[in-house]
């Protein structure tokens, strides 16, 4: 049998050893992968919102250009030709006597939010003129953020 002294020692000694330990390498890697996945999802949402905001800004600016073109027509009696382009909103085209511009208040021909020039054609395919931004890729056609933005939308 056990003596009283041995029983007292057994009571003081824990039956299992508790170790304070840190995280293992696998646990750290799992946490880093999860953080990367979350950042990828959140970052992707912010990037797509930025491109949508640029497309919205292009639509608004095309509307402003269209208003300037309509004012030009009201005073001159015609829209600028394709050759005169949007520059006719800033400086008087040769041979136009009743030009009261500038009709576009900024000093330069506008560029779309991606830094490309708007395409202008008169007559247009389905109206008196076409104003086109080629979207994020700067090429005709496309889907999503690369889709062309026109005054016909």
Q: What is the separation, in whole angstroms, between the first and last Cα of the chain?
A: 96
128 CB-side CA count, 13 A = 11
Pick the more confident residue, 30 or 65.
Answer: 65
| Topology given in CATH for the domain delimited by 29-150 | Glycoprotein, Type 4 Pilin (3.30.700)
Mean pLDDT, the chain, rounded, equals 82
- Name the CA dihedral angle for 92, 95, 98, 101, rounded to a multiple of 10 degrees: 0
Residue extents of the structural domains in the chain: 29-150
At residue 21, the pLDDT reads 67
Residue 15 has what pLDDT? 56
Please tell me the predicted confidence (pLDDT) of residue 16: 57
Q: Tokens 């824990």 identify what position?
A: 14
pLDDT digits 0-9 by tens, 35-90: 877 777 776 666 567 778 888 889 999 999 999 999 999 999 999 999 999 999 99
């Amino acid at each position: 049998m056990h003596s009283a002294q041995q029983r007292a020692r057994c009571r003081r000694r824990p039956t299992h050893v508790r170790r304070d330990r840190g995280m293992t390498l696998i646990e750290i890697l799992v946490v880093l992968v999860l953080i990367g996945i979350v950042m990828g999802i959140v970052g992707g949402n912010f990037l797509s919102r930025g491109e949508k905001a640029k497309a919205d800004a292009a639509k608004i600016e095309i509307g402003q250009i269209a208003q300037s073109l309509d004012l030009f027509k009201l005073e001159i009696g015609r829209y600028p030709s394709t050759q005169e382009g949007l520059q006719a909103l800033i400086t008087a085209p040769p041979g136009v006597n009743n030009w009261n511009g500038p009709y576009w208040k900024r000093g330069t021909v506008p560029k779309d939010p991606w830094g490309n020039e708007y395409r202008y054609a008169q007559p247009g395919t389905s109206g008196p003129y076409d104003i086109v931004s080629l979207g994020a890729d700067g090429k005709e056609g496309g889907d999503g953020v690369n889709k062309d933005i026109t005054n016909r939308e």
